[in-house]
Structure 1
Amino acid sequence: MLTSNDIPLAAKPLDRAAHHRTDEAWLEEAFARPDVLVFLMRDGQPLMEGEGGPSLSAGARLDTKPRNLVWLGANASTFMKDSIRLFMGKDKNGTPIFAVGLPDDFTLRGTLLEGAGSFEDMRAAAASLSLLEANLVSTARSITEWHRSHAFCSKCGAPSEPTEAGWKRVCPSCGTEHFPRTDPVAIMLPILGDECLLGRSAGWPPGFWSCLAGFVEPGETIEQAACREVFEEAGVVCLPEKAEYLFCQPWPFPSSLMMGIHLTAESRDITIDPNEIEEARWFSKAELQAIMSGDHPEVYAPPEMAVAHYVMKAWADS
C-alpha cells in the first residue's frame, strides 16, 4: 500500500534533529566539521552539477536525467555573507547537513564554484535528484522562500531576524515570533461508477489533464474543502462523509501540503467555472489506465513528481 513516505519530495527524509536548533554553539561547531555537508539555494533554486535546462511550467512534461546537488563542506562559510543558514538535520551516519540561502544577486562568477554547476529550475531539479536530495531541496526552498517574503514583522512592521537555525524569525522591536507557514491543499479525484473526473487549467499544454485541486479555508476539514472545490470548479456534488484520504506530499511552490483524496460523486452533470478551470471531463477507468501507462493517444498524466499522479494511479490500479 502506497503511503506518504513513498511519495516524491516526501520520501527518505532526514532526522531533523530539531533539538539542536536552539544550541548556537553546537550549530557553529557542526558547520565547521570536516564532514559537514552543505548545499546552496538562490532564488528558490538549488545549485546542481552540470548545466541546467529551461524553466518548466506546472503542466510541462518532465524528461530529465539524474543529477546531483553540488555539495560543499566547511568551505561553505565563504558564502555566508548576507546569507541565511538553515540546519536541515543529520543523515543516517550522524553527519550534519545545512542549506545556505544566498542573496538574489549572488553569482558564481569569480568564486571557487565557477563552472561547477548551475542553479536549476526547482521542478526540473526535483525530478532529477535522488529521493533524499529532492526532500532536502523541497524543504530548503520552502524555508528560504519564507525568509525572502517575511523579512518584516506582520504585527509592527519592523525588520525581523532569523533564529533557531533558520526555522523561526523574531521581531526585536515587539518580540513577536514568526514561524514558517504551510498551506493545506486538497488534491481530489471524484469517482462515479466506472468513471473519474479530471480537469484542465487554462495555459496547460495540450493533452495535459490532472486532478482538481484547491486550498483548505479556515474552519474547513480537508474533506469539506475537497467537496467544495469540486462543486465550485465543476458543478459536481460530492459528500465529505464519503471521502477517502490517501496520502500527502510537501510541495514547495511556494509551501503547501498536498493531500490526496478520492471522492464519491453524487452527480454527473458538469458546469465549470471558467475563472477556475478551462475544462472538466469524465474518463473511464480503462481510459485512465491508458493515460497512466502512457498509451492514451491524446491525454497524458501529471509527472511522477506530483501527488496527483499517485491519486490517479491509485484508482486506476484498484
Structure 2
Amino acid sequence: MTNSNDMPLAAKPIDRAAHRRLDEAWLEEAFARKDVLVLLMRNGEPFVHPGRDSGLVWMGPEAARLSPGSPRLFLGEDKAGTPVFALDLPERFALEGSLIEGAGEFLDFRAAAGSIPDMDGNCASTARSIFMWHQSHRFCSKCGSESAMVEAGWKRQCPACGAEHFPRTDPVAIMLAVKDGKALIGRQKMWPPGFYSCLAGFCEPGETIEQAAAREIFEEAGVVADAASAEYVACQPWPFPSSLMVGLILEAEGFDISIDEKEIEVARWVTQEEMVRILNHSHEEIFGPPPMAIAHHIMKVWSEKDH
C-alpha cells in the first residue's frame, strides 16, 4: 500500500520542534553546539558529497564561519535531540578557497534528490522551499516595505506595518483518468522525447482537490472525469518551488481526447500492461517519471490494480 509517509522527500521527517522557533537564546546556543547538523544550500541547490550518491554534506558549528549573516533556518531536532539547521549561502559564494573546498559540490536538486537518503531528502526539500520563498517575498505585500526573517526562518514580519507573512504551500492535483482498464497520460513539449506522466494542475480558490483534478483533466485533454469518483493515492511535498502534490485516480466518462496545446503536447490512453512496461523501462516508445516523483507511484498503484 502506498503511504505518504514513505514518499520520497517526505519520508523519515525530523521533529520540527516548532516550540524552539521563538527562543532566540536557545537557537544561538544550538547553532554553536558541537553536535549540530547544518546542511548547505546555494541558489536552491544542496551541497552533496562527490559522486552524487552519498547524500548531503552535513556540517557542524564551523558552518557559522562560511558566510556570516546568511539566512539560517531551524529545521528541527533528530531522534537524538540534535538540532538541525540549514544555511542559505549567497549565489556568489565560491567553493574555491573556502572552508568547504573539495568536500562536495552544489548539485541541481532534482539530480541530487534521487540518490540521497530519506532524511536528507526531506530536510533539503524543506530548506529549498523555505529559502526560495524568502527570496521571492522580501517585501511586505501590504505596505511594500522590506520585511525581515523571524521565528527561525518560518515567518517574515514587516517592521513598518507589523504585517506577518508565512511560507505558502500550493496544493496541486496530479492524477490519472482511467476507464475500462486504460489510463490517460500526457506530455509537455519541453519534456524529453518519449517522456510521459500524469496530468497535473494547481487547485484554484473555491474548489476541492478532487474538483481541481477533474477540471484539469478536461482543460488539458478534453476528457470528462467524475470528481466524486476520485480515489486518493498519496501526497508529496515538491519544492519546485513549494507545492503539495496530491495524487488521485478518477473515472473518465469516455476515451475521446481534445488537447489544449497551450497545456500539453499530446495525451494518450495506455493499457495496464503498457503501464507496467513504461515503469520498468521496457516500453518501445514511452518512459515515465522516476521513483522520486509521486507520478511514478500513482502510475504504479494503478498498474497493480485488478481490472
TM over 0.5: yes
Q: Match of 1:37?
A: 37
Whole-angstrom CA distance in 2 between matches of 1:108 and 1:292:
38
Aligned equivalent of 2:19 = 19
| 1:186 alignment counterpart | 173
SS in 2 for 1:302: coil
| Contact in 1 for aligned 2:66/2:98 (Cα 8 Å) | no
2:154 is aligned, of 162, 167, 171, to 167
Shift of the alpha carbon at 1:270?
0.3
Task: Return the match for 1:106 from 86, 93, 103.
Answer: 93
For residue 316 of structure 1, report the CA deviation from its aligned partner. 0.3
Query: Per-residue displacement from partner, 1:120-160 (whole Å, max 9, x unpaired)?
Result: 10001101210110111000000000111111111111110
2:129 aligned residue? 142
* C-alpha distance in structure 2 between counterparts of 1:203 and 1:144, whole Å: 26
User: Is contact 2:155-2:164 (8 Å) kept?
Assistant: yes
- Name the SS of the counterpart of 2:114 in structure 1: helix
SS in 2 for 1:66: coil
Secondary structure, aligned partner of 1:16: coil
Unaligned runs of 5+ in 1: 52-64
Single out whichever of 238-247 and 227-236 deviates more from structure 2.
238-247
Tell me the secondary structure at the aligned position of residue 128 of structure 1.
coil
- The Cα of 1:170 is off from its aligned counterpart by 0.3
Give the structure 2 partner of residue 4 of structure 1: 4
- Asked if structure 1 preserves the Cα contact closer than 8 Å seen for 2:147 and 2:157, the reply is yes
SS of alignment partner, residue 30 of structure 1: helix
2-structure distance, mates of 1:131, 1:281: 33
Aligned partner letter, 1:37: L
- Residue 80 of structure 1 deviates from its aligned partner by 4.1
Cα offsets for 1:264-313 (capped at 9, x unmatched): 00111000000010000000111111111222111111011100000000
- Equivalent AA in structure 2 for residue 168 of structure 1: K
1:200 aligns with 2:197: no
Equivalent in the alignment of 1:59: none
Q: Contact 2:182 / 2:272 at 8 angstroms: preserved in 1?
A: yes
User: What is the CA deviation profile of residues 228-263 of structure 1, one whole-angstrom value per residue up to 9, with x for unaligned ones?
Assistant: 000000000011111111110000000000000000
Aligned partner of 1:274: which letter? E
1:303 is aligned to 290
Tell whether 2:139 aligns with 1:152.
yes
**Is structure 2 residue 48 aligned with structure 1 residue 48?**
yes
The match for 1:270 among 236, 257, 279 is: 257
Q: Is the 8 A contact 1:40 1:100 kept in 2?
A: yes
Q: Give the distance between the partners of 2:30 and 2:228, measured in 1 at CA.
A: 49
Aligned match for 1:232, one of 219, 222, 227:
219
Of 186-195 and 284-293, more deviation after overlay is shown by: 284-293
> Aligned AA for 2:243?
S
The one-letter code matched in structure 2 to 1:24 is: E
Question: Residue 147 of structure 2 contacts residue 156 of structure 2 at CA under 8 Å; is this kept in 1?
Answer: yes
Tell me the distance in 1 between the aligned counterparts of 2:164 and 2:112.
Answer: 32
Name the counterpart of 1:221.
208
TM-score (norm 2): 0.98
1:108 shift after superposition: 1.6
After superposition, give the CA deviation of every residue in 1:181-203 in whole Å (9 maximum; x if it has no partner). 10110000000011000001012
Structure 2: 5+ residue stretches without partners: none
Q: How far off is 1:79 after superposition? A: 2.5
Give the length in aligned residue pairs. 305
Q: Deviations over 1:54-75 (max 9, x none)?
A: xxxxxxxxxxx52221111111
Q: Is the 8 A contact 2:66 2:99 kept in 1?
A: no
Tell me how far apart the structure 2 counterparts of residues 172 and 32 of structure 1 sit (CA, whole Å).
Answer: 28
Among all aligned residue pairs of Structure 1 and Structure 2, give the percentage whose two residues are the same amino acid: 61
